[in-house]
Amino acid sequence: MALTDDTVREPSDDEVFAPAPSPLDVPIAEQSEISEEISRRHAAARPGLVQPAVDFRPYRSSELRHPTKDLRHADPEGVELFSPVFGHRDVDPIESDLTLHPAGEPVGERIRITGRVLDGDGRPVAGQLVEIWQANAAGRYVHKRDAHPAPLDPHFTGVGRTITGADGSYDFVTIKPGPYPWKNHRNAWRPAHVHFSLFGSEFTQRMVTQMYFPGDPLLPLDPIYQAITDQRARDRLVSVYDHDVSEHEWLLGYRWDIVLTGTHSTPMEPEEGEH
């Protein structure tokens, strides 16, 4: 998919610059301090939590960006019981192959990521949008504010979309993303990951997450991944290498299934022509 100017949002004329962030009043932390904070939080956390702690200080940017009050209980009603409808008018099938570029092949390790999207009852989430975005093989994003001094790949945008099949399945062909440095603490590196955006059949099921790769030595060090305090919950974000998905002399295969929360209304049977 060629990245056109249309897909990169330019600020309009009436937008103003936000004030520059004030300098940190604390010296930048070492990995050892971050790791120590992570260990303390894990030890204090209630076992079995399935979602990340939003107030996870080892991830410094979370400090001022998480609610301090408990979430309020709402019974979903009206539009919350529905999801936007996506179809082939919205997504071209070639958008699931990130290695297709009119000017040539991207550099890196060609992979397939495939799996199923299920709801809390184990039913397939069919006909829904899956969006992914990622860095290239060198760990660089096609994003203006990515200042990592690694090369851009003229043949890779790192953006993909697809619509799940009747069995909830999705399938992307891409390049394995590289790890990249970030400014959370000294010598901070994000483990290789692919960002995923998912829709269920209800608004309440909307979620965005990140998929990781098995055996990545950066996983124990990463405060974003470790914000999920329960090991079994963290494991749910790590894909599995699947040799049956790999293809002879072509690519390596990873399998990753995604479970959304449960729905609240009895789903309607798909109509003729829907998928």
Active site residue 42: no
Asked whether position 17 contacts other proteins by CB under 8 A, the answer is: yes
Asked whether position 26 contacts other proteins by CB under 8 A, the answer is: no
Asked whether position 125 contacts other proteins by CB under 8 A, the answer is: no
Least distance (Å) between residue 171 CB and other proteins:
15
Active site residue 88: no
| Ranges within 128-187 binding other proteins (CB under 8 A) | 129, 131-133, 135, 141-146, 157-159
Asked whether position 18 contacts other proteins by CB under 8 A, the answer is: yes
Residues in the chain, total:
275
Do the beta carbons of residue 45 and residue 54 sit within 8 Å?
Answer: no
Distance CA(116)–CA(166), nearest Å, equals 10
Nearest to residue 77, comparing CAs of 202, 195, 197? 202
Find the binder of other proteins among 33, 210, 246, 267 (CB under 8 A). 210
Q: What is the Cα 25 distance to its own chain's centre?
A: 31
Asked whether position 206 contacts other proteins by CB under 8 A, the answer is: yes
Query: Residue 59 or residue 170: which is nearer to other proteins going by CB?
Result: 59
* CA-to-CA dists, residue 233 to 50, 168, 189, 229, 250, angstroms: 5, 21, 21, 8, 32
| Ranges within 229-268 binding other proteins (CB under 8 A) | 232-237, 240, 255-264
Question: Residue 114 forms beta bridges with which residues?
Answer: 171, 255
Find the binder of other proteins among 2, 13, 15, 215 (CB under 8 A). 15
User: Of the listed 59, 180, 212, 225, which one is catalytic?
Assistant: 180
Active site residue 180: yes
Say which residue the tokens 């071209």 belong to: 92
Find the binder of other proteins among 32, 39, 51, 231 (CB under 8 A). 51
Query: Residue 18 or residue 44: which is nearer to other proteins going by CB?
Result: 18
Distance CA(243)–CA(124), nearest Å, equals 24
Largest CA distance in the chain: 61
**Active-site residue list:** 141, 180, 190, 193, 195
